[in-house]
Chains A and B, each alone.
Chain A
Amino acid sequence: MTVRLLKKARCIDLVDALSDDYEIVAPVRKKDDTLFEPLSGGAEMDLDYLNSPVAPREFLLPQDETVFEYSDPENGTTLQPKIKDRCRIILGIRSCDLNGILLLDSVFSKDIPDLYYLNRREKTVFIAMACNQPGNSCFCSSLKTGPSASEGYDLLLTDLGDEYLVEVGSSRGEEIVKIGRGLFGEAGEPEIKRKADLLAIALESFVLRVDFQRVTELMKGLFADGMWEDIAERCLRCGGCSFVCPTCHCFNLFDRQLSETSGKRTRGWDSCLFSGFTRMAGGINPRGSKVERIRQRFFCKLVYYVEKYGAYGCVGCGRCTDTCPGYIDIAQVVTSVSLRSKGYEVDVGAKPER
């Protein structure tokens, strides 16, 4: 493993050095929130953030994107596919979100590849950031998706105080170091040891620890359990959990007519919580009730993702819990599954104490 040091004060210079070749997306402070946005100048960055309220998956699977534009000139319709090919660095992405993208990679490359996602993916470089201080809703350590990334990054930064330890994870990471040569210092065993110590402290400081053991198997036995009705009572069907989630990949395809003869086919995020998600022409809806839909969300994350892609569709970022106006808490759901399967009564209708 190659390691380097980067003084915090030199981060801006690194962004400048990379700006010629890449669009740089990084956490930017906006009033009370820190959001991932393209940088217009390195000074806007806020690398001391906890996490963004929406996962940066939007830079790989945008909330709204044009699949193709169509127009109908005199002789027949023409289609103009819209596949962008801009190289981009996502700087400061957390380990949970990086793991979310690794899951999306499985979804969009399995069977029939999705060019729109994969084209962006191939042109995206990740400069990830380890977490020294997990938040109150975070439970990545329970899923081994954090607080420091173990794969998927090109460079991985760890905050050592005045400087970052930089771990190089790929040849593209090497390339970045080359572009920014002169900005990086040498690092060795003492810095690696400091990171290990900080990581140990971070692991100790998780408020939330969730036992995911056997949850897939246990859930299968609870498909018809009444606990889903209790949870559904708190669901407002807003779909917010899906929109902030790093691993939700469902989308809608729809046409927007722009003039009498032209328009575009668009794809945009969709949510399994919406009643129209499964409703067919003619009105038959296989998942017509809210209970069926909220159950679908948790079974997708904890059962179907595992069966299809070999990993939980949850990376422990805690965003869905923070976002839900009905206080539906995936960590509480997992714990309740374990208790229900042992025959205990659980109160998933109650607001979790945190």
Chain B
Amino acid sequence: MANRENPYLPYPAVIQRVKEETSDIKTFSLAFKDKARQTTFYYRPGQFVQVSILGLGEAPISLSSAPCCNGSFELSVKRSGRLTERLHQLKPGDEIGIRGPYGNGFPYEEIKGKNIVFVGGGIGLAPLRSLINSIIANRDDFGSLQILYGARTPADLVFKDELNCWSETDGVEVLVTVDIGDERWTGNVGVVTTLFAKTRISADNTAAFICGPPVMIPFVIRDLLEIGLPEEWIICTLERHMKCGIGKCGHCNIGSKYVCLDGPVFNYRELKQLLESF
């Protein structure tokens, strides 16, 4: 018993930096207080952690940084509940609890040599960013990269500097849209799927990664299937209410799958076999 780790204990992590992405989204750069834990904190793009604020509880949050730099890790968090409200009030030097990483994460080795399409909506770009930056750091291992991103308004766009950076990288195309523009917005207006008409996506040797609000996902899948992408290369990451993160508490199941354990990343072939809708 003694050498089994207690999976429910959070470990203290210190906020290093806070970046305000939008009026309700912040990116927190964190490092475990225990240096040994930080240097051995391995995770894959697409995995998540349980963020703990004592007195308020926990919330599952995707890692938004690429795993390659292990001095710290990042979480990009939208203010949407009690815990995230409190998290948004915290400053560098403040401590929170972290346990994890959890979940399967995105395929990585398997997509080497492929063309990659990312389709993100709102804060859904956060988990994708972890994979995008991993791919860009190893650019030669992959084919072309297309990033399609939609937000509600220009003020809701996250990672603005990086969107520019990515678009200036060789072989990377970035397309951005907003649901509602403003007087200074000269870009595309419309839901994220309207971007499919603005570019050419090849179905040949391509993998697509989707993350966004539940209402977005089926439409993106429909369009990617129409383009001819195979079901197993349409890859989604899902969000559910979670408590334990380790497949015990029963909150995050979709059919016989646990999103925390079997997911949060599923390909469409897996998703369409589930009895419950995703």
Q: Enumerate chain A interface residues (CB-CB to B < 8 A).
A: 67-68, 70, 72, 76-77, 79, 81, 83, 107-108, 110-116, 118-119, 122, 220, 223, 249-255, 257, 263, 265, 267, 270, 272, 277-282, 284, 286-287, 292, 296, 299-300, 303-304, 307-308
Least CB distance from B108 to A in Å reads: 21
Q: Mark B251-278, 1 if CB is under 8 A from A, else 0.
A: 1011110000100000000000001111
A286 touches B12 (CB 8 A): no
Considering the complex, give the chain B residue whose CB is closest to the CB of A114: B248
A278 touches B241 (CB 8 A): yes
Least CB distance from A264 to B in Å reads: 9
A contacts with B: majority SS: mixed
A119 touches B1 (CB 8 A): yes
Least CB distance from B134 to A in Å reads: 25
Inter-chain contacts of A252 with B (CB < 8 A): 243, 249
A-B contact pairs, 22 of them (CB 8 A): A68-B8, A72-B54, A76-B12, A77-B54, A77-B95, A81-B8, A112-B248, A112-B261, A113-B4, A250-B250, A253-B8, A265-B54, A272-B250, A277-B241, A280-B239, A281-B59, A281-B82, A286-B254, A286-B277, A292-B276, A299-B255, A300-B250
4 nearest A-B residue pairs (beta carbon): A281-B81, A250-B250, A307-B256, A112-B246
B57 touches A280 (CB 8 A): no
Q: Assuming A81-B9, A114-B246, is B84 touching A255 (CB within 8 A)?
A: no
State which residues 43-80 of B face A: CB under 8 Å: 54-59, 78, 80
Tell yes or no: B225 within 8 A of A by CB: no
Inter-chain contacts of B12 with A (CB < 8 A): 76-77
A280 touches B241 (CB 8 A): yes
Tell yes or no: B214 within 8 A of A by CB: yes
Inter-chain contacts of B277 with A (CB < 8 A): 286
Picked from B56, B247, B275, B276, the residue with its CB within 8 Å of the CB of A110 is B247
Picked from B7, B81, B255, B275, the residue with its CB within 8 Å of the CB of A282 is B81
Alpha-carbon distance A112/B245, docked complex (angstroms) = 10
B241 touches A263 (CB 8 A): no
Inter-chain contacts of B84 with A (CB < 8 A): 281
Considering the complex, give the chain B residue whose CB is closest to the CB of A252: B243
Tell yes or no: B240 within 8 A of A by CB: yes
Tell yes or no: B244 within 8 A of A by CB: yes
Q: Assuming A76-B12, A77-B54, is B246 touching A111 (CB within 8 A)?
A: yes
Q: Assuming A68-B8, A111-B261, is B275 touching A250 (CB within 8 A)?
A: no
Alpha-carbon distance A67/B244, docked complex (angstroms) = 12
Alpha-carbon distance A279/B252, docked complex (angstroms) = 10
Tell yes or no: B40 within 8 A of A by CB: no
B contacts with A: majority SS: loop
B275 touches A223 (CB 8 A): yes
Q: Assuming A112-B7, A282-B80, is B243 touching A251 (CB within 8 A)?
A: yes
Tell yes or no: B6 within 8 A of A by CB: yes
Considering the complex, give the chain B residue whose CB is closest to the CB of A254: B57
Picked from B240, B247, B251, B256, the residue with its CB within 8 Å of the CB of A111 is B247
Considering the complex, give the chain B residue whose CB is closest to the CB of A256: B55
Inter-chain contacts of A299 with B (CB < 8 A): 255, 275
Considering the complex, give the chain A residue whose CB is closest to the CB of B1: A119
Considering the complex, give the chain A residue whose CB is closest to the CB of B277: A286
A284 touches B214 (CB 8 A): yes
Alpha-carbon distance A250/B56, docked complex (angstroms) = 20
B80 touches A83 (CB 8 A): no
Picked from A77, A122, A279, A304, the residue with its CB within 8 Å of the CB of B1 is A122
Inter-chain contacts of A116 with B (CB < 8 A): 8
Considering the complex, give the chain A residue whose CB is closest to the CB of B8: A67
Considering the complex, give the chain A residue whose CB is closest to the CB of B58: A253
Alpha-carbon distance A249/B256, docked complex (angstroms) = 15
Inter-chain contacts of B243 with A (CB < 8 A): 251-253, 270
B241 touches A279 (CB 8 A): yes
A81 touches B6 (CB 8 A): yes
Inter-chain contacts of A263 with B (CB < 8 A): 54-55
Picked from B7, B59, B246, B251, the residue with its CB within 8 Å of the CB of A278 is B251
Inter-chain contacts of B10 with A (CB < 8 A): 79
Q: Assuming A278-B241, A286-B240, is B253 touching A304 (CB within 8 A)?
A: yes
Q: Assuming A270-B251, A303-B275, A304-B255, is B6 touching A115 (CB within 8 A)?
A: yes
Alpha-carbon distance A67/B6, docked complex (angstroms) = 10
Alpha-carbon distance A254/B249, docked complex (angstroms) = 12
Inter-chain contacts of A250 with B (CB < 8 A): 249-251
A255 touches B255 (CB 8 A): no
Alpha-carbon distance A292/B276, docked complex (angstroms) = 9
B56 touches A280 (CB 8 A): no
Least CB distance from B147 to A in Å reads: 24
Considering the complex, give the chain B residue whose CB is closest to the CB of A309: B256
Least CB distance from B57 to A in Å reads: 5
Q: Assuming A111-B261, A304-B253, is B275 touching A249 (CB within 8 A)?
A: no
Alpha-carbon distance A67/B246, docked complex (angstroms) = 15
State which residues 201-250 of B face A: CB under 8 Å: 213-214, 239-241, 243-244, 246-250
Inter-chain contacts of B276 with A (CB < 8 A): 286-287, 292, 296
Alpha-carbon distance A299/B275, docked complex (angstroms) = 10
Considering the complex, give the chain A residue whose CB is closest to the CB of B54: A70
Least CB distance from A292 to B in Å reads: 8
Given contacts A107-B248, A250-B251, 15 further A-B contacts (CB under 8 A): A76-B12, A77-B54, A108-B248, A252-B249, A255-B56, A257-B55, A265-B54, A270-B243, A277-B241, A281-B59, A282-B80, A284-B213, A296-B276, A300-B253, A303-B255
Q: Mark B17-58, 1 if CB is under 8 A from A, else 0.
A: 000000000000000000000000000000000000011111
Alpha-carbon distance A65/B123, docked complex (angstroms) = 35
Least CB distance from A237 to B in Å reads: 17
B248 touches A249 (CB 8 A): yes
Considering the complex, give the chain A residue whose CB is closest to the CB of B245: A112
